Structure 1
């Protein structure tokens, strides 16, 4: 249970503070539990990491959503037609939730574009939470599982 809570905690902190690296942590955990952990334990660890990461990225999402209330951001949007372009992107995303989910899933699993940036953008574009949360959770859990299982396989060679 301690390892699950620790993995959740590192996932949460690393999602908020990019200087904390979840991938390194998962590599160490994967190396330690390789060969001794049943597949269900790796899945549980991956889900804990994904949940922590999702909760942390939700902080960035909310900051992105609140950024539009800032006088400085509103001023910047009013310069040189930026507001029109921003609203165009927001409307494009609103009409295509699958597009938002696809980009967020790619960002969550692969890291390109960086998920921290995508979380802020998703918040500012008002991507629905019903799209953001499960997509990020799935993507981050899948990424964590790949790291845990991959390191475990390498150590077992």
Structure 2
């Protein structure tokens, strides 16, 4: 239980502060929990939930910033506007595609989840899509790390 709470806290911090690496933490954790499948699943779930809590902060910051003068100034530049419009055209009204992109970002990190959290907030992606997709994707990523490192060490 203590490992799950520490994982939850570390995953929130990692989601908020890009240079805090959750994957390194999970690799070290895997060496401590070994082949305990229940501990790996619990910690993976904690990592997924903690990550979504942290990424929601970025999501809301992006959503709120869309009314700011700074963003209006950025979007007045053709390159920024073109990029924003491309994401909007691609994802708007397509929750399944949005979920697929968020899932790829959550599991593989391509595109980066921080960037996708900002894009999702700016585009006002429904929270019913964002929250479970990011939580499940990051839980899967965490489990793969925990199970993979544990398998190598046993």
Mark yes or no: TM-score above 0.5. Answer: yes
1:30 is aligned to: 30
What do the CA deviations read for 1:40-83 (whole angstroms, capped 9, x no partner)? 22111100011101100111111111111111211222344965
Matched-pair contact (CA < 8 Å) for 1:90–1:126: no
Provide the aligned length of Structure 1 versus Structure 2. Answer: 154
| TM-aligned CA distance change 1:71 to 1:148, over 3 Å | same
Larger Rg belongs to? 1
Runs of 4+ in 1 over 6 A off after TM superposition: none
Q: Distance in 2 between matches of 1:63 and 1:47?
A: 25
Matched-pair contact (CA < 8 Å) for 2:66–2:122: yes
Cα RMSD between the aligned structures?
Answer: 1.7
What do the CA deviations read for 1:9-57 (whole angstroms, capped 9, x no partner)? 000000000111100110011111113x2x2221111000111011001
SS in 2 for 1:95: coil
Q: Distance in 1 between matches of 2:113 and 2:72?
A: 24
| Farther off after superposition, 73-82 or 96-105 | 73-82
Matched-pair contact (CA < 8 Å) for 2:33–2:39: no
Which consecutive unaligned segments of at least 5 residues does structure 1 have? none
| Farther off after superposition, 79-88 or 50-59 | 79-88
Which consecutive unaligned segments of at least 5 residues does structure 2 have? none
